[in-house]
Each structure stands twice: as structure tokens, then as C-alpha cells.
Structure 1
């Protein structure tokens, strides 16, 4: 589903990943992180797709809301598990959306 975001400016966190073969609790944690992010102040939406490479883009009102999400205790635990067992490689990019359009 395509996120319904407001008029720019707003911010995007682009999380690109390659998984390991370990699936222990991954789907449950991923679902919980989507639900938890949606309750965070400043959260605007999320889009995610996975084939060989996974890409999740979350949208936020401000850099401060992104910092608060990164520092969320439950999210920090998910990050730890990701580094230790779920991701062979990942990259995070943060950018300011200055213009968007849609059909």
C-alpha cells in the first residue's frame, strides 16, 4: 500500500536490507515494529517491499520524530536482533522530501 503523506516538506527514513537465513521471530517483530511506529508522534506512514533486497520507507514530520523513534526502547531491541541475527547487510538513509506528486 502507498502511504498517504501530507504536503511536503516531511522526512523519509529508507531502510534497505539483505536478510540472513534466520527467521526466528522476525515476522512477529516486524509486525510489532510497524504497529509501534504508527503510534509514535510524528509518524506519517510506511511502505515496504521485499524480494532479494528489502526496502522499507517510513515517513516522519521532523528529524526529531525520527530520532525519538530510533531511541524507542522496543525499537532498539529490534535493531539489536537485526544486527545479531536477521540482517546480513543493511543501510539507512534519511532525507527531506521537498516535492512529491501522484496519480
Structure 2
């Protein structure tokens, strides 16, 4: 990913998902792409930023409300991906939900 998410003026919400992957792909890449496309179609979705190195992955998705986050968590296809993540793709993971009250960016 090379672009910042185009978020509105705060307040809005950020879901910060951190993970350590297991070895091998086993369909992870395709599911990740599918989930990114599906999330972008959900009401309240504002954008995403993601990075991964050899060990740690961080994905931050932005939403306009806690209700939008709840509905995304309950999405049937997303629940399938969550289960596969727990059983196949992640050694460990964590999720933080935060209210963004201020943001600022600097560009050269």
C-alpha cells in the first residue's frame, strides 16, 4: 500500500489489527484481497492502511461509527475469514478499536 486512507474530518474510528502469520500462504493472499474489496463496500467504511514485515503485520481500517464496525465484524464472509485466520493463518493477533479525535499529515 502506498497511499494514506482518505479519511474525513474527525471524529471517526480506527480498527487496528496486528498479527503474526504462520508459515505458508494457504489461501491467505486471495482471502485478504477479497476482504479488502468487501470491506470497501460496507456502509461506514472510510479506508485502510496496511504494512507487513517478516514478522509483524499491521492493518488499520477506518469507519464512521462503532455500528459500522460491529456490522463488518458480523459480516458472514468476514466471519469465515476470521475463523480461517484463527485456525490457519495467524500465530497470534490482536485488535484495538479507537476513536480518532485529531489527525494531521505532512507532505514534502
Instruction: Give the TM-score of the pair, scaled to structure 2.
Output: 0.94
Partner of 1:100: 103
Question: Runs (4+) of structure 1 moved beyond 2 Å?
Answer: none
Q: In the alignment, which of 2, 5, 8 is matched to residue 6 of structure 1?
A: 8
Provide the rounded CA distance (Å) in 1 between the counterparts of 2:40 and 2:22: 26
Provide the rounded CA distance (Å) in 2 between the counterparts of 1:23 and 1:3: 26
**Count of residue correspondences:** 103
Provide the rounded CA distance (Å) in 2 between the counterparts of 1:93 and 1:82: 17
Provide the rounded CA distance (Å) in 2 between the counterparts of 1:31 and 1:25: 10
Q: In the alignment, which of 30, 43, 53 is matched to residue 56 of structure 2?
A: 53
- Consecutive unaligned residues of structure 1, counting only runs of 5 or more, are none
- Consecutive unaligned residues of structure 2, counting only runs of 5 or more, are none
- What are the within-5 Å matches in structure 2 for residues 84-99 of structure 1? 84-99=87-102
Partner of 1:80: 83
